[in-house]
Amino acid sequence: MIIISCSHGLHLAKKIAAKLKKPYSPLEVTHFPDTEIKLKFNINVKNKIIVLIQSFYRDINDCIIETLFAAETAKDLGAKKVILVAPYFPYLRQDKRFNPGECVSLRTIAKNIDEDIDEIYIIDPHLHREKTLSHIFKIKSHKLTANSLIENYIKKTVKNPVIIGPDWESYKWAQRVAEKVGCDFAIMEKERYSARKVSVKLNKKIDIRSKNLIFIDDMISTGHTLLEAIKAMKKLGGKKVTCFAVHGILVENALEKLQKAGATVITSNTIPNKAAKIDVSEIISNSLL
């Protein structure tokens, strides 16, 4: 087995290779002046199992092309098997045609992944309408989770917490974390009007006096979901707020906006960012054993 970092997997690949005691080699990725991608393996992949580590953030579409190029090149060079570890996998929210004429983007992405890759690992994929990864990919798929890391982090750092899930999709998750941490939880009912406009309302009365409010979501993108949730809880008298998310996508200065609203933000490092305090490399390496 050889661990190969793609351009958005460098922050995890070396650690994973060290934990597994396997050879590591970074993929050499450059761009032509017109932005076309050129890539090169600097290790012999013939007859080897190749593990590509690639998280999909910022220039997501380039990441997709790069990953497909890498997988196909590895096969062309004689690799026995190509595994993709995607700490954060994109397009999972585009799993249906919301309006007439729209592309179901996830379907196209999945079709291409199925063609070039043999096995895929994803941390906390956004499964909502599709219930399992096997409904999305034909190849062998593995759903990993950072739940236990988040639970331990909360147990170690937050006293007297109450867990809030910012929408119904987070119900099971918030419930599980609350059970493990040993505290009360509630959910907010979220209505989404556009990518940057949501409204939220608490689903039940909870006692938040002298509690530390913990919001927990799978991802923070623009931060608007959590900004609205913070506003609503502050109106109810909530004081100390910490937002936990697995994937800190954090576009459009989301981190700064949340901090300005008085929240501490903690994410895992599926996507590297200033709030990434929880390391997922062990979860990945254990799953590859």
Residues that bind ligand R5P (CB under 6 A): 166-167, 169, 198, 217-225
Q: Which is nearer to ligand R5P, 2 or 198 (CB)?
A: 198
Q: Which is nearer to ligand R5P, 109 or 219 (CB)?
A: 219
Alpha carbons 188 and 166: distance in angstroms, whole number: 5
Minimum distance from CB of 231 to ligand R5P (Å)? 13
Residue showing tokens 């934990």: 19
Minimum distance from CB of 250 to ligand R5P (Å)? 8
Q: Nearest 5°: CA angle at 40, between 39 and 41?
A: 140
- Give the distance from CA 208 to its chain's centroid: 29
Q: Which is nearer to ligand R5P, 38 or 172 (CB)?
A: 172
Q: Which is nearer to ligand R5P, 18 or 195 (CB)?
A: 195
Minimum distance from CB of 93 to ligand R5P (Å)? 6
Minimum distance from CB of 244 to ligand R5P (Å)? 12
Minimum distance from CB of 122 to ligand R5P (Å)? 15
CA dihedral sign of residues 149, 150, 151, 154 = positive
Q: Which is nearer to ligand R5P, 66 or 167 (CB)?
A: 167
